[in-house]
Amino acid sequence: MCELLGMSANVPTDICFSFSGLVKRGGETGPHKDGWGITFYEGKGCRSFKDPKPSCDSRVAELVKDYPIKSKAVISHIRQANRGGVSLENTHPFIRELWGQNWTYAHNGQLTGYEDLQLGHAYPVGQTDSELAFCWIIEKLHQTYKTVPSDMLTVFKEIAGYADELRKLGVFNMLLTNGEYVMVYCTNNLHWITRRAPFGKAQLIDEELTVNFSEETSDSDVVTVIATRPLTSDEEWTKMGEGEFCVFQLGERIL
């Protein structure tokens, strides 16, 4: 299975600490050696870094770790291939335009019978079940809303219904964002943690690295991190249940 990492924050925040733990799982402390990717949002724009090589050996991953890009919304993924070969076009996250917004998505799991999903507005570039499922979600939203919806919380509830349908085809753990909202959907393995004042120290599980968040943040900062498995050993992470979904905005859970 692949692993996911996401972040929602109320101020531009770097994700280097959490990303350092995820990178180790990409071929060193974990079997996810078939590529990795990360997308950062800056206003309406987003920048993505992807590499079909293991993240633990990737010079692009080193660049991301050494160049702390600050963002309010981030999605990252390390891949263990099951559908589609190891290639750049099959490397998550995937991005599509909808309503003049960049939507970014990453999936952990494996689906069966996904070839029957009806497409129209968006088509996959690669050969993964993950990207095709994303295109199907985009198509469903395109059919329902021709312009930007006024009530985004209702939209995310509908997306959760689409995810319920995809869960019937197999394991469907998902991260989805338009840069303002970060949605998380769980089938079997997702955790999240919200950090706020008073901030303390945290120790990564996969690397000998500790950070004192009180030295990196202000008292008004709110940062939520989502991961397939907890990344730190000395913090309390919330484990999601099957079929559960969350929506975060500016670091706070709003749904």
Catalytically annotated residues: 2
Q: In the β-sheet with 173-177, what is the strand arrangement from edge to edge?
A: 94-98, 101-108, 173-177, 181-185, 245-249, 252-253
Q: Is residue 25 exposed (0-12), middle (13-18) or buried (19+ Cβ within 10 Å)?
A: buried
What is the 3-state composition of the chain as percent helix, strand, coil, each rounded to the nearest 5? Answer: 25, 35, 40
Q: Is 24 helix (H, G, I), strand (E, B) or coil?
A: helix
Identify whether the C-beta of residue 185 lies closer than 8 Å to the C-beta of residue 160: yes
The helix (run of H) or strand (run of E) holding residue 130 is helix 129-144
Both tokens of residue 184? Answer: 């998380």
Q: What's the number of CA atoms in the CB half-sphere (13 Å) around residue 198? A: 1
The helix (run of H) or strand (run of E) holding residue 14 is strand 3-14
The Cα 49–Cα 60 span in angstroms is 7
Identify whether the C-beta of residue 109 lies closer than 8 Å to the C-beta of residue 173: yes
